[in-house]
Amino acid sequence: DAKTTQPPSMDCAEGRAANLPCNHSTISGNEYVYWYRQIHSQGPQYIIHGLKNNETNEMASLIITEDRKSSTLILPHATLRDTAVYYCIVRPRGTGNQFYFGTGTSLTVIP
Partner 1 sequence: EAQVTQNPRYLITVTGKKLTVTCSQNMNHEYMSWYRQDPGLGLRQIYYSMNVEVTDKGDVPEGYKVSRKEKRNFPLILESPSPNQTSLYFCASSPRAPNTEAFFGQGTRLTVV
Which residues contribute to the site for partner 1 (CB under 8 A)?
32, 34, 41-46, 49, 51, 87, 93-94, 96-104
- In the bound state with partner 1, the residue whose beta carbon lies nearer, of 36 and 75, is 36
Inter-CA distances, 106 with 20, 38, 66, 100, Å: 10, 9, 26, 17
In whole angstroms, the minimum distance from the beta carbon of 21 to partner 1 comes to 18
In whole angstroms, the minimum distance from the beta carbon of 65 to partner 1 comes to 20
DSSP string, 32-79: EEEEEEE-TTSPPEEEEEESSS-EE-SS-EEEE-TTSSEEEEEETT--
Q: How far apart are CA 64 and CA 58, in angstroms?
A: 18
- In the bound state with partner 1, the residue whose beta carbon lies nearer, of 14 and 51, is 51
- In the bound state with partner 1, the residue whose beta carbon lies nearer, of 53 and 111, is 53
In whole angstroms, the minimum distance from the beta carbon of 111 to partner 1 comes to 27
In whole angstroms, the minimum distance from the beta carbon of 17 to partner 1 comes to 23
Q: How far apart are CA 64 and CA 100, in angstroms?
A: 19
- In the bound state with partner 1, the residue whose beta carbon lies nearer, of 96 and 111, is 96
